[in-house]
């Protein structure tokens, strides 16, 4: 089994760990196995790139350069002058967000690992040794994460602010990590107290999705933050700041470096030091109950209520003409709703498609007045939401339960075209239509009722574009391939489709400039859409 440098470092503390009553030999072996298994896990920020076959490597370590890049974003906030309370509170807010979301998304498999219960609990291993191994396992990765995230800001702070700033910053990072680990674990504890394991898995999944979306659009916020921040701002603490953890860790800078002995500053500084350790004591006390509740993760919850109502069935019968198409429509809806790995790879694209139109509008606001924007054709930025379509159409080929694709061979399917049509319609209704409806409502509110025909035209264009994507990207039957088969280069396949989106946008813009262009263009699109769905999707 491979030797790890972190374990060689841990060997320096062998005597101390042994004196505390732990079996160091078993502790080291457990950690070695855990770290070896981690090499098979892909970090959330790289989930959409798939997996490469080859020698084992710790992909979390390979991803640390991304966190180092995000660490650069906090450096400007450290140099607003000597307004330490304000600037370091902002800095810790950014650090806490990145570390906590990464903690939930990538380290949940460590905190919530129940394999210890089924494997190690049946062996002559003390429970306290197993608990210590899990704790060290978490802190090993948290050390690498926060180290890569804060290494550059720490060095910059040491050079520009001095040794005192550096030491306070380092201590704050250490206390922040304790707070995040305990907060995350206790959050899981309370969820498992009242909900089953399926609910917790859903929450973790949505946090992973939020992290992917946040990283995708975060640079937009950071790049423009200085356009809104008044560099001469003064920040006065209020009593309700006690409930904001980032401000806790900003207060010691104001107290020790600026000599501010305000009573609230001293209270916040004490909370920053005392609260993480008190929370750690509570966590240790609650650990036995927490470990017991982890057994819920092996449960699958109770029976779910049926969601098929008569109205929905009637809509399905209108949307899908044949029984085969309706069957695969329902099948695809179920897969998209319940496949966690599919949601993790697709939902970030949906989130990005949701914010892209507003990024264009935001840029428009920066370049002109609000009145100019609302009377312009900036509503055509809704076409940028189409970027999700080729991504999802490509991902429809994959599933975590791909081995069940034998059903296509034994089912009495007359036409495979029904499989593709039902699946695409399920995507449009289940995923794209809710997103597009929300965008349309906001756009109509911003630009007025005059754009309702434009919104309808864009949606019909999206339906046509979906079929085009299928014909150009079609590989295998839906949900019949393993996610491990996704190549890192597959994401580049969708780039040419952005040109097609540009064509739809250009045609719409031309129609705006022609007399009666909009109604004529809408009729042409409706006819084209009917023909495309009727004739283009055929059996392979």
Instruction: Name which residue leads in pLDDT, 461 or 321.
Output: 461
User: What pLDDT does residue 98 have?
Assistant: 79
pLDDT over 70 (residue 487): no
Instruction: Name which residue leads in pLDDT, 404 or 163.
Output: 163
Least trusted range by pLDDT, from 3-12, 27-36, 46-55, 254-263: 46-55
Least trusted range by pLDDT, from 7-11, 14-18, 81-85, 335-339: 81-85
User: pLDDT tens digits, residue range 150-168?
Assistant: 888 888 888 888 898 889 9
User: Measuring CA to CA, which residue among 462, 431, 465 is closest to residue 339?
Assistant: 431
Burial 138-153 (b: 16+ CB within 10 A, else e): bebbbebbbebbbeeb
Those residues with Cβ within 8 angstroms of residue 230's Cβ, 6 or more apart along the chain or in another chain: none
> So where are the chain's domains?
1-30, 67-298, 310-536
User: What pLDDT does residue 18 have?
Assistant: 85
User: What pLDDT does residue 440 have?
Assistant: 92
Q: What percent of the chain has pLDDT over 90?
A: 10
User: What pLDDT does residue 305 have?
Assistant: 47
| Residue 264 and residue 85 in contact, taking contact as beta carbons nearer than 8 Å | no
User: What pLDDT does residue 316 have?
Assistant: 76
Q: pLDDT band for position 222 (50/70/90)?
A: very low
The upper half-sphere exposure of residue 290, i.e. CA atoms within 13 Å in the direction of its Cβ, equals 18
pLDDT over 80 (residue 250): yes
User: What pLDDT does residue 108 have?
Assistant: 62
Least trusted range by pLDDT, from 9-18, 72-81, 446-455, 509-518: 72-81
pLDDT over 50 (residue 295): yes
User: What pLDDT does residue 471 have?
Assistant: 84
pLDDT over 80 (residue 73): no
Instruction: Name which residue leads in pLDDT, 234 or 85.
Output: 85
In angstroms, the CA 320 to CA 41 distance is 40
Average pLDDT value for residue range 249-259: 84
Tell the residue number behind the tokens 């390979």, with chain if given: 62
User: What pLDDT does residue 47 have?
Assistant: 47
Q: pLDDT band for position 225 (50/70/90)?
A: very low
Instruction: Name which residue leads in pLDDT, 41 or 283.
Output: 283
Both tokens assigned to 496: 């040419």
Q: Taking the CB of residue 214, how many other CB atoms lie within 10 A of it? A: 15
Kindly state the greatest CA–CA separation across the chain.
Answer: 87
Least trusted range by pLDDT, from 207-211, 239-243, 508-512: 207-211
Q: pLDDT band for position 506 (50/70/90)?
A: very high
User: pLDDT tens digits, residue range 176-215?
Assistant: 888 888 887 777 777 777 776 667 667 766 765 665 566 5
DSSP string computed for 406-468: GHHHHS--S-THHHHHHHHHHHIIIIIHHHHHHHHHHHHHHH-GGGHHHHHHHHHHHHHHHHH
Instruction: For Cα atoms 278, 283, 288, give the angle at the middle one, nearest 5 degrees.
Output: 150
User: What pLDDT does residue 307 have?
Assistant: 46
Average pLDDT value for residue range 495-505: 87
Mean pLDDT of the chain: 76
User: What pLDDT does residue 264 have?
Assistant: 83
Instruction: Name which residue leads in pLDDT, 164 or 229.
Output: 164
Q: What percent of the chain has pLDDT over 70?
A: 72
DSSP string computed for 232-279: T------GGGGG-HHHHHHHHHHHHHH----HHHHHHHHHHHHHHHHH
Instruction: Name which residue leads in pLDDT, 411 or 249.
Output: 249
User: What pLDDT does residue 492 have?
Assistant: 59
User: What pLDDT does residue 336 have?
Assistant: 86
In angstroms, the CA 295 to CA 288 distance is 12
pLDDT over 70 (residue 5): yes
In angstroms, the CA 173 to CA 480 distance is 46
Q: pLDDT band for position 491 (50/70/90)?
A: low
Give the ranges where 259-339 is alpha helix by DSSP (H). 263-293, 310-319, 323-338
Instruction: Name which residue leads in pLDDT, 235 or 444.
Output: 444
Centroid of chain to Cα 432: 18
Instruction: Name which residue leads in pLDDT, 12 or 121.
Output: 12
User: What pLDDT does residue 457 have?
Assistant: 94
pLDDT over 70 (residue 58): no
């Amino acid at each position: 089994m491979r030797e790890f440098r972190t374990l060689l470092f841990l060997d320096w503390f062998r005597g101390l760990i042994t004196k505390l009553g732990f079996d160091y030999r078993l502790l080291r072996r457990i950690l070695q196995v855990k770290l070896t298994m981690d090499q098979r896990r892909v970090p959330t920020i790289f989930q959409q790139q798939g997996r490469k076959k080859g020698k084992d490597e710790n992909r979390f370590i390979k991803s640390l350069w991304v966190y180092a890049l995000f660490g650069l974003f906090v450096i400007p906030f450290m140099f607003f002058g000597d307004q330490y309370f304000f600037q370091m509170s902002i800095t810790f807010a950014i650090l806490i967000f990145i570390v906590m979301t990464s903690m939930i998304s990538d380290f949940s498999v460590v905190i919530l690992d129940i394999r210890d219960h089924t494997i190690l609990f049946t062996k002559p291993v003390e429970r306290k040794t197993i608990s210590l191994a899990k704790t060290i396992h978490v802190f090993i990765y948290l050390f690498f994460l926060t180290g890569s995230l804060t290494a550059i800001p720490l060095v910059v702070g040491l050079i520009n602010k001095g040794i005192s700033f550096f030491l306070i910053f380092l201590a704050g990072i250490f206390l922040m990590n304790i707070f995040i680990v305990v907060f995350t674990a206790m959050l899981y504890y309370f969820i498992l107290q009242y909900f089953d394991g399926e609910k917790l898995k859903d929450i973790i999944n949505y946090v992973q999705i939020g992290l992917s979306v946040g990283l995708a659009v975060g640079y937009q916020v950071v790049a423009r933050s200085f356009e809104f921040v008044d560099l001469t701002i003064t920040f006065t603490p209020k009593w309700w700041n006690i409930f904001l953890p980032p401000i806790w860790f900003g207060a010691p800078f104001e107290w020790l470096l600026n000599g501010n002995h305000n009573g609230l500053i001293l209270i916040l500084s004490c909370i920053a030091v005392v609260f993480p350790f008190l929370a750690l004591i509570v966590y240790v006390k609650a650990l036995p109950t927490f470990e017991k509740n982890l057994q819920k993760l092996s449960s699958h919850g109770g029976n779910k209520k049926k969601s098929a109502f008569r109205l929905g069935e009637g809509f399905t019968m209108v949307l899908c003409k044949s029984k085969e198409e309706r069957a695969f429509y329902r099948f695809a809806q179920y897969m998209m709703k319940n496949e966690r790995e599919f949601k993790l790879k697709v939902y970030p694209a949906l989130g990005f498609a949701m914010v892209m139109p507003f990024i264009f509008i935001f840029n428009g606001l920066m370049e002109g007045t609000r009145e100019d924007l609302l009377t312009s054709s900036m509503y055509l930025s809704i076409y940028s939401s189409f970027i999700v379509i080729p991504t999802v159409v490509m991902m429809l080929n994959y599933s975590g339960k791909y081995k069940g694709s034998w059903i296509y061979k034994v089912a009495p399917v007359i036409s495979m075209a029904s499989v593709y049509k039902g699946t695409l319609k399920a995507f449009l209704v289940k995923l794209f239509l809710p997103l597009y409806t929300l965008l349309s409502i906001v756009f109509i509110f911003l630009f007025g009722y005059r754009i309702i025909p434009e919104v309808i035209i864009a949606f019909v264009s999206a339906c046509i574009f979906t079929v085009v994507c299928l014909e150009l990207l079609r590989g295998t039957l839906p949900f019949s391939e393993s996610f491990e088969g996704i190549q890192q280069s597959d994401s580049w396949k969708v780039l040419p489709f952005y040109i097609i989106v540009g064509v739809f946008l250009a045609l719409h813009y031309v129609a705006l400039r022609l007399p009666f262009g909009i109604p004529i263009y809408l009729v042409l699109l409706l006819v084209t859409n009917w023909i495309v769905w009727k004739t283009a999707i055929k059996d392979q």
